[in-house]
Structure 1
Amino acid sequence: MKAIPIILFLLGTLLCPKGLFAQEELPHAFDPAFVHVVYFWLHHPDNPEQLQAFETALRNFLSNSRNAKTRFIGRPPKATRDVVDDSFTYSMIVTFESAGAQAAYQAEQAHLDFIAGAGHLWKKVVVYDALGLDP
């Protein structure tokens, strides 16, 4: 019976060159120095055209940001526990190498254009910023 896990591991290693549990490499490694988490509540979260317009604006913004290192856009899954807030429409997580880089991001043209072009789509925005602790 002990040979089966070893055989499965070896098969996985042969079938998956990066290893059995390999994941695709991210374009930017997560940088815990400064994390910027933003939650958006849209005026019309059930309107497909507005969802598409917001998503397009957000993707365009993040692809043009010179200061953001890690970029994540998400939608809430259906909450299965009382402690999970699934009331938002979109979340965005961006990391920076420093607080200075985050300050530069706030003033960069891509960020200002995003706010000017998509700000009318949201009714509420909540931001959580955090400085990383050394392990």
Structure 2
Amino acid sequence: MKSTRRKFITTTAALAAGTVTASAISLKEQKEEWPIVHHVFFWLKNPGSVEDRDKLVAGVKTLAKIETVRKLRVGIVASTEKRDVVDNSWAVSELMFFSDLAGQATYQTHPIHLEFIKNCSHLWEKVIVYDAQDA
């Protein structure tokens, strides 16, 4: 019985250590590969329209085709706890990662991005952009 318990604890500890190590390596690699972050928040002209929100989400997802976009995440407001520090007034967000500033600049003038603006800008009332780079 002691041998089985000891083996279980040893195996569990090894798995936990492996998971932590793999997560740390993954985060480190991501930081080194994609140090430029482009985070955009959109407010809809018709905030209650799920159809408009879904059209905007679909439009944002087309931006993943741009070759300099390393990773794209598209989000809508989460139903998290309401707190003073949480701004949930927006409708759709995009979070993009780039390898470098040149890649982000290419994205800005890319035909797919310009087409997205042409096709979807009628849906939003306000846009705020936060660009950051690894410190």
**TM-score w.r.t. length of structure 1:** 0.75
**Which residue is 1:36 aligned to?**
38
Task: Trace 1:73-112 onto structure 2 (pairs within 5 A).
Answer: 73-78=74-79, 79-112=81-114
Which whole-Å CA distance do the structure 2 matches of 1:41 and 1:103 have between them? 24
Whichever structure has more helix as a proportion of its residues is 2
Instruction: List gaps (5 residues or longer) in structure 1.
Output: none
Q: Which structure 2 residue ranges, 5 or more long, are not aligned?
A: none
Q: Using the TM superposition, give the Cα deviation of residue 73 of structure 1 relative to its aligned residue in structure 2, in angstroms.
A: 0.7
SS at match of 1:120: helix
Indicate the structure (1 or 2) with the bigger Cα radius of gyration.
Answer: 2
Task: Give aligned-pair identity as a percent.
Answer: 31
Aligned to 2:130: 128
Q: 1:57-82 deviations in whole A, cap 9, x for unaligned?
A: 111222x2111101111112234321
Structure 1 runs of 4+ off > 2 angstroms? 5-10, 29-32
Alpha-carbon distance in structure 2 between the residues aligned to 1:36 and 1:54: 17
For 1:88, what is the secondary structure of its paired residue? coil
Instruction: State the superposition RMSD in angstroms.
Output: 3.1
The residue number in structure 2 matching 1:115 is 117
CA distance in 2, matches of 1:118, 1:43: 11
Of 1, 6, 11, the match for 2:9: 6
Counterparts of 1:5-24 in structure 2, within 5 Å, are: 6=9, 9=12
2:12 counterpart letter in structure 1: F
